Amino acid sequence: MNKIICLLFIIIPISSFAQTTAEKPKILYGVCTKDSLMGEPFGKWFTTGYDSYIANTDITTSLKKQDLDNISIKIFFGTWCGDSKREVPRFLKLLSDISFPGKKVQLIALGGGDSLVKQSPTHEETGLGIFRVPTFIIYKNGKEVNRINEFPVFSLEKDLLNILNDPPYSPNYHSFKTILQWLNDGSLTDGNNSVRGLAEQLRPLVADEHELNSLGYLLLKQGKKKEALQIFRMNYTLYPESANIASSLGEGYYENNDFKKAITLLERSLELNKDPKAIKDILTILYKAKEKE
């Protein structure tokens, strides 16, 4: 049962405001600006990252020659997220280097402190399928062209140039685009769809067992229990010998009140498990499932 880092599912609000939560440590929360990031306590890491990033000048020269008139960018990040602290200052420095208009960039800071389902203040969390931060979405005439997920495939400047030149650019976490489509068209709640068939479509897109597992827990936290269960079932199809994936599927069945199947999968996880530290968590859910069976 993995602890998930920096997972989100949001949509950008159009309004322009910024605020901080009362949580400690202090975080930005909502639509914000570069000036917000330059203030304390964010200024130290933001300014250091911004000032130290030197983009490849050959690539920035090419970027300056691109037709950027109809391009806009939305940036989703968390001031609590290590990947955001690294990539957001660099990306804003890159945009400054190519003289990209600041008014065409939206920054959204998500609340949170570690991982799951952190939301914008007015709860615009539906439709974009952003499962990790930071995410940089590039739009042309208001329509998404492509995105950079969490970290660049090559470098921020090369990825951006590839996106604007419209080659076959594939961002990290290739499976997310397909899963977002299935979330939106109801494929993950259609009981007639073959879990094995869906899993085989994802097989060439998934990097490792943690990719879908993290997404399954995100959906659980969002209250999408049926969708989460399908994700766990697909992942178990791809990684049937993983103790962690078996326990996650058991938890998925438990959350969907199928306690008999939960028990079967949790006991299977115990058989496969080689990590003594994970046994306690598995047994906790197993005992709960047996009490309710």
Q: What is the pLDDT of residues 162-181, one digit of tens each?
A: 999 988 899 999 999 999 99
Average pLDDT, the chain: 88
> Is residue 254 within 8 Å of 288, Cβ to Cβ?
yes
CATH classification number, 19-165, choose in 3.40.30.10, 3.30.450.20, 3.40.50.720, 3.20.20.30: 3.40.30.10
Q: What is the pLDDT of residues 184-236, one digit of tens each?
A: 999 999 999 999 999 999 999 999 999 999 999 989 988 899 999 999 999 99
Query: Could you tell me the residue ranges of all domains in the chain?
Result: 19-165, 175-292
* 34's tokens: 């570069």
pLDDT of residue 117: 52
Question: Within 13 Å and on the Cβ side, how many CA atoms surround 109?
Answer: 26
How much of the chain is in helix, strand and coil states, percent to nearest 5?
Answer: 50, 10, 40
The residue-averaged pLDDT of 29-50 equals: 94
| Beta bridge partner(s), residue 71 | 140
Query: Is it the case that residue 17 has pLDDT exceeding 50?
Result: no
Query: Is it the case that residue 124 has pLDDT exceeding 70?
Result: no
Contacting residues for 44 by C-beta, under 8 A, at least 6 apart: none
Query: Is it the case that residue 78 has pLDDT exceeding 70?
Result: yes
DSSP state of 282: H
Confidence of residue 263 (pLDDT cuts 50, 70, 90): very high
Confidence of residue 87 (pLDDT cuts 50, 70, 90): very high
Query: Is it the case that residue 20 has pLDDT exceeding 50?
Result: no
Query: Is it the case that residue 19 has pLDDT exceeding 80?
Result: no
Q: Which of 14, 12, 78 is nearest to 45 (CA)?
A: 78
pLDDT of residue 132: 86
pLDDT of residue 229: 98
- Is-cis flag, bond preceding 276, omega within 30? no
The residue-averaged pLDDT of 4-13 equals: 45
pLDDT of residue 123: 55
Better pLDDT: 126 or 40: 40
Common-topology check for domains 19-165 and 175-292: no
Residue 6 Cα distances to 9, 77, 114, angstroms: 10, 9, 6
Task: Give the CATH H-level superfamily of domain 175-292.
Answer: Tetratricopeptide repeat domain (1.25.40.10)
